[in-house]
Structures are given as structure tokens and as C-alpha cells.
């Protein structure tokens, strides 16, 4: 069995990013740590929706074709801007995870005077 022939490419790596240059495109993926409280607060303020418990707000994917100057960036902030806020209705395109109801109920069951720790 012969090895596959790979097109000419160049790989670049740093602690939080991996890039590949191939067919005139420079593609970079950045994976950073979970956002801290101030970062989540700022993101929440601009979006107006509750954030996932583990938000990786600094992650991104960039595709750049340097010869043409075309560049496409995908960020956590832009992705979260597409989340439908408010009440969800059948067929409205909103997405709800399987445990959403149980999670919301657990948040409503905790009172300020509760001795439960979560």
C-alpha cells in the first residue's frame, strides 16, 4: 500500500495556534483557554444572552487567501451572535440542548438563602 501524495504545504505551530499554508491559503485555528469572568461578563453584555458554562471566547478560525486579499474569520463572539434569544417556538430555527429544561429548573430551584452549593 503506497502512502498518499500530499500537496505542497507548510505547517506552523505555537502553543495556542496551528496554521497550514496550502494552495495559496493560510488557515489558522486558535484554541485558547476558557474565558474568565470579566471576559464572559463583557461578552454577555454585548450579546444579551446567557453564555454556555464553558465559553472559549478567544478561539477563532481564519482562512486567508493572501494573493487576492480575501479573508474569512470565524470567532466565538460572531457565532454566539447567531443564537436565538428569548422563548423558542416550534420551527423558529432555535436550538435547545437536551438538558436545557432540567438545567433551567435547577437554576430556579436555588434561592438566595439556600444552603445548596453548586
Q: What is the pTM of this model?
A: 0.66
C-alpha cell at 117: 452549593
pLDDT tens sequence across 7-17: 899 999 999 99
- Give the CA diameter of the chain: 68
Residue-wise pLDDT for 15-53, tens only, equals 999 999 999 999 999 999 999 999 999 998 998 888 888
- Contact residues for 100 (Cβ-Cβ < 8 A; gap 6+): none
The C-alpha cell at 64 is 486567508
d(CA 12, CA 30): 12
Q: Cα–Cα distances in Å, from 105 out to 20, 26, 86, 102, 109? A: 45, 45, 16, 5, 6
Query: Strand 9-13's sheet: what is its strand order?
Result: 9-13, 17-22, 25-30, 60-65, 70-75
Amino acid at each position: 500500500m503506497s502512502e498518499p501524495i500530499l500537496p505542497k504545504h507548510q505547517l506552523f505551530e505555537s502553543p495556542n495556534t496551528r496554521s497550514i499554508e496550502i494552495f495559496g491559503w493560510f488557515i489558522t485555528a486558535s484554541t485558547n483557554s476558557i474565558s474568565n469572568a470579566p471576559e464572559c461578563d463583557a461578552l454577555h453584555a454585548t450579546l444579551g444572552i446567557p453564555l454556555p458554562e464553558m465559553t472559549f471566547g478567544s478561539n477563532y478560525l481564519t482562512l486567508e487567501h493572501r494573493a487576492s486579499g480575501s479573508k474569512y474569520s470565524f470567532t466565538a463572539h460572531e457565532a454566539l451572535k447567531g443564537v436565538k434569544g428569548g422563548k423558542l417556538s416550534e420551527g423558529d430555527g432555535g436550538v435547545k440542548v437536551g438538558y436545557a429544561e432540567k438545567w433551567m429548573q435547577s437554576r430556579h430551584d436555588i434561592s438566595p438563602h439556600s444552603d445548596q452549593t453548586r
